[in-house]
Amino acid sequence: MSPNALVEAVVLDYGGVLTGPVKQSIDAWLEADGIEPESFSRTLKAWMSRSAPLGTPIHRLETGELGVEEFDALLAAELTTIDGRPVDPVGVLSRLFAGMRPDPAMFGLVEELRELGVRVALLSNSWGNTYPRERIDALFDPVVVSGEVGLRKPLAPIYELTLEGLGVVPGRALFIDDAEPNVLGARAVGMRAHLHVDAPSTRAALAALVPGLRASLNGAPA
């Protein structure tokens, strides 16, 4: 299929795509709690490594096998603070995501896609996140959250489940995510995929695949 063939459906991640960058929220949390950034990055790398066993705390959290409170305690135990005091395990994930805010430009883009007749779906790996369900349920169909279906990106079954819900073949669906492993996972099942950096560049990429969608909000070339 031509890389510029039109798409019938767009599948979007939530955190970091429909919201501002996750890193900004994490950095604010690390500073507020006085946590040594290296202790967090070291733990994150070990628990998210593609070569790590499937039973890491992050993998188990994403599939709903591990509860938020238990994950909070495990993560807090791995972290060190600048002044040597222990990390409070209560509400660690809530504090980590406290700075996340919806990106109005991306939600506006989703609304435009719907108006143009493009199916839109949400596919998100959950870290115990609180999603604005009323808002996303009204915009996306299907809404696939890893902890609710017991599957996670970047493994093939969760993409296949989303495609089944959309009723489209993989090559007619474009997946958008801010994490490269998840983009590669989508491509492995035959989907087109775009690595999200910001709303303008994602809009420009979509404009080549969706008739009627402007490449930029002011109509000028992106």
Give, in order, the Cα–Cα distances in Å from 122 to each of 139, 149, 184. 9, 13, 17
The pLDDT of residue 173 is: 98
182-198 pLDDT tens trace: 999 999 999 999 999 99
Residue 2, pLDDT above cutoff 60: no
25-82 pLDDT tens trace: 999 999 999 999 999 999 999 998 766 656 899 999 999 999 999 999 999 999 999 9
Instruction: For residue 128, name the pLDDT band (cuts at 50, 70, 90).
Output: confident
Contact 173, 11 (CB under 8 A): yes
Contact 11, 176 (CB under 8 A): yes
Question: Which residues have C-beta within 8 Å of that of residue 206, sequence separation ≥ 6?
Answer: 10, 109, 113, 174, 194, 213
Nearest Cα to Cα of residue 34 among 86, 71, 75:
86
DSSP string spanning 58-101?
Answer: HHHHHTTSS-HHHHHHHHHHH--BTTSPPPP-TTHHHHHTTT--
Enter the DSSP assignment of 172. Answer: G
Model-level pTM?
A: 0.92
